[in-house]
């Protein structure tokens, strides 16, 4: 699954169809009584504040994939409805609740889909414009939080969906693509496909359990010692991106997005083998390589960054949609002329320490250890050093990603830094980048990616 801007996706023209999720309750939905996730509560608060000052911050996490031939519209509609009924987070109605965020969930029988035929799209540019507009319709403060559709051609069909970040993360996109492909296959099959599909665990139940575990925590709690030490050494919970991006403090900029391949599939295998030979994992090798590249461009002797971590595990939540992401701070030394193996070992040790403290969510630590900043800030205070890596080959349905041209599309309306999402597919190692649209940021990003590629190839 490739993470790429929709503008770069090269989707062929065809007939556009939409499916809108509707509630059958007719009374505005049930009163909110259930807990939501830490990420959700902060995200919703940010959206409320942005709306109140008439500076909306918008984002989506979308995906698209191909089905062969002209689709059976009834089977495709059934697959979309199956997706929404399968994952209750998509049926949840969110409302402010006592200074926090509450929700209640519509039952599977209380939702339906409304089909709308949009009409023909004559050129790839028209398709791109249609998808850009449709993807951006999702709104944190409005229900529903998912929109779905397809571009139908005689020889193939592009299926797509877009969610607000409130109900999804990057891994959810691959889970949803697999659910849709599987459901469409089963609904369109002449013979039923044997075997029952295990229902996924509830993200909202996961959130309630997580919140209860930390309910009694205060700022002096020993479980915050790791976070407190990082804050004190770093000067705050948000580690600064160490290179110049040409930005002014307190301002959001228009984003620039791009995706490129850093290593071929064979090179990625060779890099993984080189990391294992040094006693490390490929993911930690990438973190170490990024730290070395920053150091060579004038970065500090200690790498400090935030690393998103998937909280699903391998049990009941393994194939659940939701925002199952904690963000952990990591710090480790990067000597100017250190051998790669030394940096890899330091990165792996630092990540292990962070994982040992993953029981505390970043939002909870932020609220307790920097309460004034938590209340005041509605997006990251400055350009933040950030490392993300996903191996899409390990996710459900990965064997079909290449054949179905599975794509994930991430968009934000504004940003104040530079973000790299490294991801691996059957075709190699890629990086999706979003950064501020300044000349200096373009130059810095190019130098950093070139430097990272040199480190990766040197290691192999």
CATH number, domain containing residue 33: 3.30.559.10
What's the rounded Cα separation, in Å, for the pair 130 and 163?
Answer: 16
Task: Answer yes or no: do 24 and 144 share one domain.
Answer: yes
Q: Which two tokens stand for residue 457?
A: 């190839």
Query: Which of 153, 176, 205 delimits the end of a domain?
Result: 205
pLDDT at 190: 44
pLDDT > 70: percent of the chain:
97
Same domain membership, residue 104 and residue 245: no
Picking from 205, 229, 256, the residue at the C-terminal end of a domain is: 205
For residues 65-83, give the mean pLDDT: 94
Name every residue whose Cβ is closer than 8 Å to that of residue 190 and which is 6 or more positions away in sequence.
none
DSSP state of 209: H
Instruction: Confirm if 21 and 146 have CB atoms less than 8 A apart.
Output: yes
The answer to whether residue 189 scores a pLDDT higher than 80 is: no
Count of structural domains, the chain: 2
- Position 28 scores a pLDDT of 55
DSSP 260-305: EEEEEHHHHHHHHHHHHHTT--HHHHHHHHHHHHHHHTT--SEEEE
Cβ neighbours around 119 below 10 Å, total: 10
Would you say residue 308 lies in a domain? yes
Residue 145, in any domain of the structure: yes
Closest CA to 152 of 120, 123, 178, 128: 120
What's the CA gap between 362 and 328, in Å, rounded?
Answer: 7
Backbone angles phi, psi at 157, to 5 degrees: -140, 130
Q: Judge if 297 and 186 occupy the same domain.
A: no
337: which 2 tokens? 């002329």
Q: What residues does 63 pair with on adjacent strands? A: 161, 408
> In the sheet where 100-105 sits, what is the strand order?
34-35, 100-105, 92-97
In a domain, 210, yes or no: no
First to last CA, the chain: 24
Q: Show the domain range for 307.
A: 219-459
Residue 33 scores a pLDDT above 80: no
Per the domain annotation, does 29 fall within a domain?
yes
Let me know whether 196 and 240 are in one domain: no
Lowest mean pLDDT of 183-187, 227-231, 351-355, name the range. 183-187
212 located within any domain: no
Tokens of residue 29, six digits = 């939905």
Look up the CATH number of the domain holding residue 329: 3.30.559.30
The torsion of the CA quartet 376, 380, 381, 384, rounded to 10 degrees, works out to 160
* Predicted pLDDT of residue 151: 97
Residue 101 has pLDDT above 90, yes or no: yes
- pLDDT tens for 147-177 read 999 999 999 999 999 999 999 999 999 999 9
In terms of domains, do 195 and 314 share one?
Answer: no
> Do 10 and 141 fall into the same domain?
yes
Residues 31, 126 share a domain:
yes
Residues 315 and 201 in one domain: no
From 205, 239, 274, the end of a domain falls on 205
- How far is it, in rounded angstroms, from Cα 432 to Cα 430? 7
Residue 366 is assigned to a structural domain of this protein = yes
Q: Are residues 184 and 227 in the same domain?
A: no
Residue whose token pair is 């700022």: 219
User: Does residue 213 lie in a domain region?
Assistant: no
Q: What is the pLDDT of residue 27?
A: 61
94: closest CA among 104, 79, 85, 84?
104
- Structure confidence at residue 43 (pLDDT): 94
Find the mean pLDDT for residues 133-142.
Answer: 96
**For residue 54, what pLDDT is reported?**
82
In the block, residue with structure tokens 């890099």: 271
Note the pLDDT of residue 57: 81
User: Could you tell me the pLDDT band of residue 375, with boundaries at 50, 70 and 90?
Assistant: confident
pLDDT in tens, 236-252: 999 999 999 999 988 89
Whether residue 238 sits in one domain with residue 129: no
Residue 74 banded pLDDT, cuts 50, 70, 90: very high
If asked whether residues 116 and 230 sit together in one domain, one would say no
Give CA angle at 144 (141, 148), nearest 5°: 130
23 token code pair: 């509630």
Q: Which two tokens stand for residue 326?
A: 């904690």
* 66 located within any domain: yes
Could you tell me if 118 and 196 lie in one domain?
Answer: yes
């Amino acid at each position: 699954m490739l993470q790429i801007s929709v503008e770069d996706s090269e989707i062929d023209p065809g007939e556009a169809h939409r499916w809108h999720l509707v509630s059958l309750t007719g009374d505005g939905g049930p009163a909110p009584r259930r807990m939501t996730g830490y990420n959700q509560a902060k995200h919703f608060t940010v959206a409320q504040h942005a709306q109140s000052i008439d500076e909306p911050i918008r984002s989506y996490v979308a995906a698209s994939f191909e089905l062969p031939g002209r689709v059976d519209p009834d089977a495709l509609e059934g697959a979309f409805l199956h997706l929404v009924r399968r994952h209750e987070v998509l049926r949840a109605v969110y409302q402010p609740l006592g200074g926090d965020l509450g929700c209640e969930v519509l039952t599977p029988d209380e939702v339906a889909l409304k089909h709308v035929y949009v009409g023909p799209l004559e050129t790839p540019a028209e398709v791109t414009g249609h998808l850009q507009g449709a993807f951006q319709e999702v709104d944190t403060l409005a229900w529903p939080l998912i929109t779905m559709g397809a571009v139908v051609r005689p020889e193939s069909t592009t299926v797509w969906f877009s969610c607000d970040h409130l109900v999804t993360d990057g891994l959810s996109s691959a889970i949803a693509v697999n659910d849709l492909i599987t459901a469409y296959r089963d609904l369109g099959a002449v013979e039923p496909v044997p075997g029952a599909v295990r229902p996924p665990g509830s993200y909202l139940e996961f959130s309630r359990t997580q919140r209860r575990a930390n309910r009694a925590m205060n700022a002096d709690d020993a479980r915050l010692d790791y976070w407190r030490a990082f804050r004190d050494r770093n000067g705050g919970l948000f580690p600064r991106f160490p290179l110049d991006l040409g930005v002014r403090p307190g301002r959001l900029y228009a984003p620039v997005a791009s995706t490129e391949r850093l290593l071929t599939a064979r090179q990625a295998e060779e890099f993984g083998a080189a990391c294992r030979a040094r006693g490390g994992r490929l993911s930690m090798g990438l973190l170490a390589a990024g730290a070395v590249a920053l150091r060579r461009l004038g970065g500090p002797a200690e790498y400090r960054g935030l690393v998103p971590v998937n909280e699903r595990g391998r049990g009941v939540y393994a194939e659940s949609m939701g925002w199952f992401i904690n963000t952990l701070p990591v710090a480790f030394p990067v000597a100017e002329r250190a051998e790669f193996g030394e940096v890899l070992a330091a990165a792996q040790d630092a990540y292990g320490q962070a994982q040992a403290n993953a029981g505390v969510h970043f939002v909870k630590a932020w609220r307790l250890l920097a309460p004034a900043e938590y209340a005041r800030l509605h997006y990251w205070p400055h350009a933040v050093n950030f490392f993300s890596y996903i191996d899409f080959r390990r996710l459900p349905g990965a064997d079909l990603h290449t054949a179905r041209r599975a794509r994930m599309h991430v968009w934000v309306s504004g940003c104040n830094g530079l973000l790299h999402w490294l991801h691996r597919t059957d075709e190699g190692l890629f990086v999706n980048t979003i950064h501020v649209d300044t000349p200096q940021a373009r130059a810095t990003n190019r130098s950093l990616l070139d430097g990272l590629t040199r480190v990766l190839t040197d290691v192999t």
